[in-house]
């Protein structure tokens, strides 16, 4: 089939987010200017540069108690920092619980029973048991076409790696099995690896 998004797809569910898969999940922790902690998953997320290391995530749609956006973007606008927590398969249920449309004064760390620690380089909480945490300083927020579509870019200024995930000097994903977002309500867990040599290696 072929369709122009502007004309509609004619399927029972929008296939768009099943096409661009698998997507990593950035579990974004932020803190409001009032000290309120927030945690939510974003799969429009990726790393975008090495030197200096930079990441992005995109927020779509808005919450009634946040004007034109959601809690994460609203907090980052106030404080200029955020932390990306890597999600392992074992954390799938608490990650999912943190994605609820909770009021802005709900602390998802508390709601989902997730242990937190203070970041080292920014004033923000991190998921202490996550395989890795990327402490980020906001570089820019871009507004995209459409209502409430924002992309947040940040420079990674501090990185925590869980000790058991380091094997022979590698951050070894087989020790924790990253969770990936597919379309609809589907997920995948990374539990099988293979390597390819690049031309010229």
Ligand X SMILES: Cc1cc2nc3c(=O)[nH]c(=O)nc-3n(C[C@H](O)[C@H](O)[C@H](O)COP(=O)(O)O)c2cc1C
List residues binding ligand X (CB under 6 A): 25, 38, 40-44, 58-60, 63, 70-72, 96, 99, 101, 181
Residue 83: what are its φ and ψ, rounded to 5°?
Answer: -125, 135
Q: How far is the CB of 63 from ligand X (least distance, A)?
A: 5
Closest distance of CB 185 from ligand X, Å: 9
Measured from the CB atom, is 159 or 182 closer to ligand X?
A: 182
Does residue 148 have a cis bond before it (omega within 30 degrees)? no
CB of 190 to ligand X, least distance (A): 15
- Looking at the Cβ atoms of 160 and 181, the one nearer to ligand X is 181
Beta-ladder partners of 151: 58, 142
Rounded to a whole number of angstroms, the minimum distance from the CB of residue 115 to ligand X is 18
Tell me the C-alpha distance between 140 and 151, whole Å.
8
- Please state, in angstroms and rounded to a whole number, the distance separating the CA atoms of residues 93 and 198: 37
CB of 168 to ligand X, least distance (A): 31
User: Of 173 and 182, which CB lies nearer to ligand X in the complex structure?
Assistant: 182
Q: Based on CB atoms, which residue is closest to ligand X, 69 or 194?
A: 69
Alpha-carbon distance of 188 to 191, in angstroms, equals: 9
Nearer to ligand X, 43 or 133 (CB): 43
Burial class (CB in 10 A: 0-12, 13-18, 19+), 72: buried
Phi/psi of residue 104, nearest 5 degrees: -65, -20
């Amino acid at each position: 089939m072929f369709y122009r998004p502007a004309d509609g797809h004619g399927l029972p569910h929008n296939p768009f987010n099943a096409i661009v898969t698998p997507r990593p999940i950035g579990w974004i922790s932020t803190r409001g200017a009032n000290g309120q902690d927030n945690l939510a998953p974003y799969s429009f997320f990726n790393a975008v540069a090495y030197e200096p290391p930079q990441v992005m995530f995109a927020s779509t749609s808005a919450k009634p108690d946040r004007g034109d956006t959601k809690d994460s973007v609203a907090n980052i606008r106030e404080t200029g920092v955020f932390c990306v927590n890597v999600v392992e398969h074992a954390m799938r249920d608490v990650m999912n619980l943190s994605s609820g449309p909770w009021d802005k004064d709900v602390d998802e760390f508390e709601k989902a029973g997730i242990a937190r620690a203070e970041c080292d380089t920014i004033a923000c909480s991190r998921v202490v048991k996550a395989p890795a945490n990327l402490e980020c300083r906001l570089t820019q927020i871009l507004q995209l076409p459409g209502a409430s579509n924002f992309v947040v870019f940040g420079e990674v200024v501090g990185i925590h790696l869980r000790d058991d995930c380091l094997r022979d000097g590698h951050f070894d994903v087989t020790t924790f099995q990253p969770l990936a977002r597919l379309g609809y309500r589907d997920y995948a867990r990374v539990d099988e690896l293979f390597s390819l040599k690049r031309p010229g290696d």
